[in-house]
Amino acid sequence: MLAKAPGQAMHLSQPPRFRPPPTKSYSCPIHASKRSPMSQETPYIFDATTADFDQSVIENSFHKPVLVDFWAEWCAPCKVLMPMLQSIAESYQGELLLAKVNCDIEQDIVARFGIRSLPTVVLFKDGQPVDGFAGAQPESAVRALLEPHVQMPPPAAADPFEQAQALFDDSRFADAEAQLKVILGEDNTNAKALILYARCLTERGELGEAQTVLDAVKSDEHKAALAGAKAQIKFLGLARDLPDAADLKARLAKDPLDDEAVYQLAIQQLARQQYDAALDALLKLFTRNRSYSEGLPHKTLLQVFELLGNDHPLVSTYRRKLFAALY
C-alpha cells in the first residue's frame, strides 16, 4: 500500500497490526528511559510515542509540517534513511519537525496508520497525512516531496556589508544606504563600506557628496572598487553636460562616422548603465580612430572595466576584444 512515489496522494487505511520478521526476537523490551542508538533529539527532532503522538505530531502539524519516520532497530534501510532525514530536518531550521516512531515499541501507532513495511515515512500537515513513501529514497526525492508543503527558512544572516551589497545589486539603493550608515556608524574608516555608500549617493544624483565620501577613503586595499566608483561619478557628471541621447542618435543617423557623437552617446549609455552598447561603441571607435581625443576611447574602456570589476562577464569579453584590437 505504501510503496508509492513521492508527490502522490497519501492514503492510509487500517490493516492488521504491523508484525516484525519472525526471525527477530523481542525478549528484551526497551524502556522509555533508555535512549535508542538511532535517537538524536533536538527541538525539532524527537521520538513520538503512543502516549504523546496526538500532541507531538497531530497538534504540532497545525503549526509546522511534521515528518514521521516509522522505523525499527532491526531494519537496515531505516538506519540509512534516518540520518538523512535528520539532516534534512536540520536544514529547515525548525520549519519542519521530524518525529521518529519505533515500531518495535509503538505497536498501537503502527496499527492506527496501517504501516506494513519499513521504513515508512509520512508527512502530516493540519492534522492529516498529506504525503509519504515506503522504502529508502534519495535525498533529492525526499526534498521534492517536502517542497510543496514546507517553506525553506531564509538564509542565515549574512555579514552586514554583504547584506548591503546584495541590496545594492538588487537596485534597492535606499535600503543599502541605510545598512551602510549603520556600518559606518561603528567604523567610519571602513573603506569598502565608504565606497559602496558613495555609489548609493551616486545612484540618487548626489555626485558632489559621493565624491566627498570617496575622497575620505585612505586605504589602498580596495583600489579597483574605488577607481570604479570614481569612474561612475565621472560618467554621470560628463553626461549632464552632453547633448541628449536622442539628439546624438539623430546625428549618427546622418553621419555614422561622427566620432564625437559616437563617444558622447557612449558616455550617455554608461550613465544609464547600458554597458554592453557603450563598450561596443567605444571599442569600434578605438579600432577605427585610435587617436581620437588623445586615445580617450581606450582610456574610457579601462575606466569601465574598473567600474564593473573583473568578475563581470562583459569585462572579460571586452578585455579580450581590446587585446585583439591592440595586438
Percentage helix, strand, coil, to 5, in the chain?
A: 50, 10, 40
Burial class of residue 158, CB neighbours in 10 A (0-12, 13-18, 19+): exposed
**Predicted confidence (pLDDT) at residue 169 exceeds the cutoff of 70:** yes
pLDDT tens string 28-81:
222 232 334 444 567 899 999 999 999 999 999 999 999 999 999 999 999 999
Cell 487505511 sits on residue: 13
Cell 508527490 sits on residue: 7
**C-alpha closest to that of 177 among 192, 199, 205, 159:** 199
Is the overall model pTM greater than 0.95, yes or no? no
DSSP 312: S
Please, what sign has the CA dihedral across residues 317, 320, 323, 325? negative
Residue 33, pLDDT score: 29
Q: 194-201 long-range contacts, Cβ below 8 Å, gap at least 24?
A: 195/222, 195/225, 195/226, 195/229, 196/161, 196/164, 196/165, 196/168, 198/229, 198/233, 199/168, 199/229, 199/232, 200/168, 200/173, 200/174, 200/176, 201/177
Whether residue 67 contacts residue 84, with contact meaning beta carbons closer than 8 Å, is answered with no
pLDDT tens string 112-122:
999 999 999 99
B/e letters for 45-76, b = 16+ CB within 10 Å, e = fewer, are: bbbbbeeebeebbeebbeebbbbbbbbbbbbe
CA distance 123 to 129: 6
In CATH, which of 3.20.20.70, 3.40.190.290, 3.40.50.1370, 1.25.40.10 is domain 242-326? 1.25.40.10
CATH fold match for the domains 160-226 and 242-326:
yes
**3-class DSSP state of 133:** strand
**C-alpha closest to that of 277 among 318, 320, 323, 227:** 318
CATH 2.40.128 holds for 160-226: no
9, three cell numbers: 496522494
Cβ neighbors of 85 (< 8 A, separation 6 or more) are 67, 69, 98, 121, 142
CA distance 220 to 209: 21
* Strand partners for 45: 42, 98
Domain ranges for the chain: 45-146, 160-226, 242-326
Cell 561596443 sits on residue: 280
More confidently predicted of 182 and 157: 182
Whether residue 304 contacts residue 282, with contact meaning beta carbons closer than 8 Å, is answered with yes
Q: Which CATH class is domain 45-146?
A: alpha beta
Confidence of residue 232 (pLDDT cuts 50, 70, 90): confident
User: What's the rounded mean pLDDT across residues 23-31?
Assistant: 29
CA distance 4 to 128: 18
41, three cell numbers: 533529539
**C-alpha closest to that of 67 among 81, 53, 79, 57:** 57
Residue 181, pLDDT score: 96
Please list the active-site residues.
75, 78
